[in-house]
A and B are shown apart, each in its own frame.
Chain A
Amino acid sequence: MREKHRVTAPHRAFSRAGWLLVWALLWAAVGHAAEPLGPATRLRVGVYENPPKVFRLADGTYAGIFPDLLARVAADAGWVLEYVPGSWAEGLERLERGELDLMVDVAVSPERTARFLFSEQTVLVNWGTLYTRPGFALNSPLDLEGRTLAVLRGSIHTEGEEGILALLRKFGVSTTVIERDSYAAVFEAVALGAADAGAVNRLFGAASAVRYGVRETPFVFNPSELRYAFPSNGRFGGALQRAVDSRLAELKAAPGAPLQTLVAEYLERPPELWDTRPGAVRADTIPPISPAQRAWLAAHPLLRLGVDPHWLPFEALDPRKGHLGIAADYARIVAERLDVALQPVSGLTWGETLQAARRRELDLLPALSATPERAEYLLFSDPYVSFPVVLVTRFGAPLVAGLPDLVERRVALVEGYSIQEYLRRDFPRIVQVPVPDIDSGLLAVADGRVDAYADNLAAVTYAIEQLELGNLRVAGTTPYTVDLRFGVRSDWPELVPLVNQVLASVEPERRTAIQDYWTTQRPTEERKLTRIRTQIGWGVAALALVGLAAALHNQRLRTQIRYREQLTRALAAANQRLTELDRLKSMFIASMSHELRTPLNSIIGFTGVLLKGLAGPLNEEQADQLGRVFRAGKHLLALITDVIDIAKIESGKIVPYAEAFTLGDLVQEACDAVRKNAEDKGLALRAERPEAPIVMHTDRRRLLQCLLNLLSNAVKFTEAGSVEVRAALTADGGVQVAVTDTGLGISPADQERLFQSFVRLDSPLKTVVPGTGLGLYLTRKLAREVLGGDVTVVSEPGRGSCFTLRIPRELPVSPDAVP
Chain B
Amino acid sequence: MSRALVIEDNQDNMKLITFLLAAEGYAFLCAATGRHGLELALAERPDFVLLDIQLPDMDGTEVLRALRQDPWGRCVPIIAITSYAMSGDRQRLLAAGCAGYLEKPIDPDHAVGEIRAILEGSRPCAS
Chain A interface (Cβ < 8 Å from any Cβ of B)? 108-110, 121-122, 125, 127, 162, 218-223, 225, 593-594, 597-602, 604-606, 608-609, 611-612, 614-615, 637, 641, 655-657, 659, 699-702
Contacts and interface: CB of A to CB of B under 8 A. Distances in A.
Interface string B85-101: 01110010000000000
B66 A614 contact: no
Q: Ordered nearest first, which 6 A-B pairs have the shortest CB separation?
A: A657-B88, A602-B12, A657-B87, A608-B108, A701-B87, A601-B105
Nearest to A633: B105
Contacts of B1: none
Contacts of A605: 12-13, 16, 105-106, 108
B23 A127 contact: no
- Size category of the B interface is 35 or more
Given A600-B105, A605-B106, A614 B20 contact: yes
A612 B108 contact: yes
A601 B12 contact: yes
B6 interface: no
B12 A220 contact: no
A22 to B, nearest CB: 41
Nearest to A648: B86
A603 to B, nearest CB: 8
B58 interface: yes
Contacts of B105: 597, 600-601, 604-605, 608, 637
A597 B58 contact: no
Contacts of B91: 657, 659
B107 A597 contact: no
Contacts of A606: 12, 16
A244 B58 CA distance: 34
Contacts of A659: 87-88, 91
B43 interface: yes
Contacts of A109: 71
B106 to A, nearest CB: 5
A349 B59 CA distance: 46
A220 B107 contact: no
A110 B72 CA distance: 10
A609 B108 contact: yes
16 contacts: A110-B71, A122-B43, A127-B38, A127-B66, A218-B57, A222-B69, A594-B54, A597-B83, A597-B84, A597-B105, A602-B12, A602-B13, A605-B105, A608-B108, A612-B109, A701-B86
A772 to B, nearest CB: 15
Given A220-B66, A614-B23, A609 B84 contact: no
B19 A609 contact: yes
A699 B12 CA distance: 33
Nearest to A127: B66
B43 A597 contact: no
A655 B86 CA distance: 9
A221 B16 CA distance: 31
A223 B38 contact: yes
Interface in B66-89: 66-67, 69-71, 73, 83-84, 86-88
Contacts of A655: 86, 88
B116 interface: no
Contacts of B88: 655, 657, 659
B12 A221 contact: no
B62 A223 contact: no
B83 A609 contact: no
Given A593-B84, A614-B23, 7 more contacts: A122-B42, A127-B66, A220-B58, A597-B83, A601-B104, A601-B105, A608-B106
Nearest to B89: A657
B87 A700 contact: yes
Interface in B19-76: 19-20, 23, 34, 38-39, 42-43, 54, 57-59, 62, 65-67, 69-71, 73
B107 A608 contact: yes
Nearest to B11: A602
B75 to A, nearest CB: 13
A601 B58 contact: no
A225 B109 CA distance: 38
B108 A614 contact: yes
Contacts of A598: 10, 12-13, 83
Given A602-B12, A612-B109, A218 B86 contact: no
Contacts of A701: 86-87
A184 B61 CA distance: 29
A220 B107 CA distance: 32
A612 B66 CA distance: 37
Nearest to B88: A657
A614 B104 contact: no
Contacts of B38: 125, 127, 220, 223
B74 to A, nearest CB: 10
Contacts of B66: 127, 220-221, 223
Contacts of B34: 218
A637 B54 CA distance: 19
A807 to B, nearest CB: 15
A223 B105 CA distance: 32
A600 B109 CA distance: 17
A121 to B, nearest CB: 8
A221 B38 CA distance: 11
Given A122-B43, A221-B66, A657 B86 contact: yes
A817 to B, nearest CB: 14
A109 B43 CA distance: 14
B88 to A, nearest CB: 3
Nearest to A120: B45
Contacts of A221: 65-66, 69
Contacts of B16: 602, 605-606, 609
B87 A702 contact: yes
B70 A223 contact: yes
Contacts of A127: 38, 66
A608 B42 contact: no
Given A594-B54, A597-B83, A605-B13, A219 B62 contact: yes
Given A597-B104, A600-B105, A220 B83 contact: no
B87 A699 contact: yes
B114 to A, nearest CB: 14
Given A127-B38, A223-B66, A601 B87 contact: no
A594 B82 CA distance: 11
B62 A608 contact: no
B69 A218 contact: no
A618 to B, nearest CB: 13
Contacts of B84: 593, 597, 641
Given A657-B86, A659-B91, A699-B87, A608 B109 contact: yes
